[in-house]
Amino acid sequence: MIETLTEALKLDSVGLWGLLDIAIVSLLIYELLKLVRRTRASQIFIGGGLLIGLYYASQFTPLQTLNWLFRDMFGYIVFAAIVLFQSDIRRALAHFGRAPFFRYFSRAEATDETIEEVVVALRMLAEQGVGAIVAIEREIGLRTYVESGIPLDAAVSYDLLVSVFQSGSSLHDGAVVIQQDRVAAAACFLPLTVNPRVSKDLGTRHRAAIGLSEETDAVALVLSEETGKLSLVLDGQLEQDLKPEQLRYRLEALMLRRPSEPFLADGKEFEA
**Could you tell me if residue 221 is left (phi over 0), alpha (psi between -120 and 50 degrees) or otherwise beta?**
beta
Residue 68's pLDDT band (cuts 50, 70, 90): confident
| Model confidence pLDDT, tens digit, residues 200-254 | 888 899 999 999 999 999 999 999 988 899 999 999 899 999 999 999 999 999 8
Phi/psi at 130 (nearest 5 deg)?
Answer: -110, 135
pLDDT for 260 equals 47
pLDDT for 248 equals 92
| Model confidence pLDDT, tens digit, residues 252-262 | 998 876 554 44
- % of the chain surpassing 70 pLDDT: 74
Q: Which helix (H) or strand (E) holds 270?
A: strand 268-270
The pairing of strands 175-179 and 132-136 is: parallel
**Domains contained in the chain, CATH given:** 2-97 (no CATH), 107-270 (3.40.1700.10)
Say if residue 124's pLDDT is above 70. Answer: yes
- What pTM did the predictor assign? 0.59
For residue 251, how many other CB atoms are within 10 A of its CB?
23
How many Å apart are CA 266 and CA 90, to the nearest integer? 48
Say if residue 90's pLDDT is above 50. Answer: yes
